[in-house]
Amino acid sequence: MVSRGQAPVVEPGLPELLEQAVKSRHLQATTSAFEAVVSTDVSFVAVGTPSRSDGSLDVSTVLKVCDQIGAAVATKDKQHVVVIRSTVSPGTTVRCAEILQSYATKASISVAFNPEFIREGTAVTDYNNPPYTIIGTTDPMAERVLREIYASVSAPIIVTEPSVAEMIKLVCNAWHATKVAFSNEIGRLGNTLGFDARQVMDILTRDSKLNISSAYMRPGFAFGGSCLPKDLRALTYFARTENIALPLLSSLIPSNQAQIDSALLDILVTEKRRIGIVGLAFKAGTDDLRESPALELAERLIGKGRELRILDPAVCQAKFVGANRQYIESKLPHLSRLLVARPFDLLKHSELIVVTQHVAGLDLIASASRNIPIIHLCCTGGDSVWSRPQSNNGNREVFNSAVSLNRMDPTA
């Protein structure tokens, strides 16, 4: 069908594009991988990767096609670029590269992963107007070729590691599914409780500062405070009393708790006994300790026999008055003896530093000269103040920080 200029699927705008491309001889169809590869410079792999019964992606066809491409490239004496477009699990591009490189005897092969973000029914429009173009490669040749191919597409180009490019497609679709499920759960609440859920969601989406933005979208530590946990519990309580199923919203508190549990395990596995915690309030810039995940973490570490010192300038400044005092007396009555006012005092005590938030004094800790391991629980990545992350089973960023105690002690 394609060789006759006929679209094999129903997609607005595609029949016209195919007909024009075939007539101008810019597009030719073949069932021979060898023929396709030897007559071109770039191969795009866009085959199906269906779900297996266990939910994993079946990438066997992708690997088979790469084997066919490699066999064809082995007969060529010029550079060939292979671009994986299929949705795959992280690590697949590396596997493809290994297969292809085994054939690279006469010609070199460059490999990249280039995910597509097009929807059925609007595929042509989405291709011409993408939010961005992702190029997952460490190969300069693959990057250069793809930049040339997408030169006419008006969208920013993001070059990253193949594993990140592979994962962004899966994460984007998971986020889209989350938005649909969230909206539908609010809709079910509206149907039963008698409010206009569409109007609620319309107003929600008008907030581009927090609701529809990058806010709260960086992997880090658990949420807390007087609002998020309380309001989530209220919504799910309404649902239970009316027998409304809200599985997504009901999963958020357990998911948040799992983040605290994971942090605790990451700390305990180090087998360090004297631990310094940076940040105690539920977030930086406040002295509010209500439902603070850092406070719960500290409480559980003490229960495990760890000796703590805690640095949080805002909490120290609060002097435990009003609601904070009552909360502390019920949660950590001995907290006052654990708090320290200076980074020096924290470091002098600690075999391990745990950062839950960015507070004043963190730069001093990061720039010192004696090696103390640091577990960074708060937002990781570009805003991290440490430059050399070390692997910690893929969950956290762990850094070696060299701390000069003499330089930090004003009495030394």
Cα angle 381, 382, 387 (rounded to 5 degrees) comes to 80
Tokens of 171: 């994460």
> Quick one: 162 exposed, middle or buried, by C-beta within 10 A (0-12, 13-18, 19+)?
buried
Report the alpha-carbon distance of residue 185 to residue 199 in Å, rounded. 14
How far from chain centre, in Å, is Cα 399?
20
First to last CA, the chain: 82
Tokens of 216: 């709260």
Report the alpha-carbon distance of residue 395 to residue 367 in Å, rounded. 24
Instruction: Confirm if 390 and 376 have CB atoms less than 8 A apart.
Output: no
H/E stretch holding 275 reads strand 274-278
Report the alpha-carbon distance of residue 391 to residue 132 in Å, rounded. 29
Whether 227 is a known active-site residue: answer yes
Three-class SS of residue 76? coil
Report the alpha-carbon distance of residue 315 to residue 345 in Å, rounded. 16
> Quick one: 103 exposed, middle or buried, by C-beta within 10 A (0-12, 13-18, 19+)?
buried
Bridge partners (DSSP) listed for residue 310? 277, 339
> Quick one: 354 exposed, middle or buried, by C-beta within 10 A (0-12, 13-18, 19+)?
buried
Bridge partners (DSSP) listed for residue 371? 402
109-113/389-390 β-pairing: unpaired
DSSP H helices in 210-359 = 228-241, 247-250, 252-268, 293-303, 313-318, 322-331, 343-349
H/E stretch holding 80 reads strand 80-84
Catalytic residue among 66, 227, 316, 379: 227
* Catalytic residue set: 227
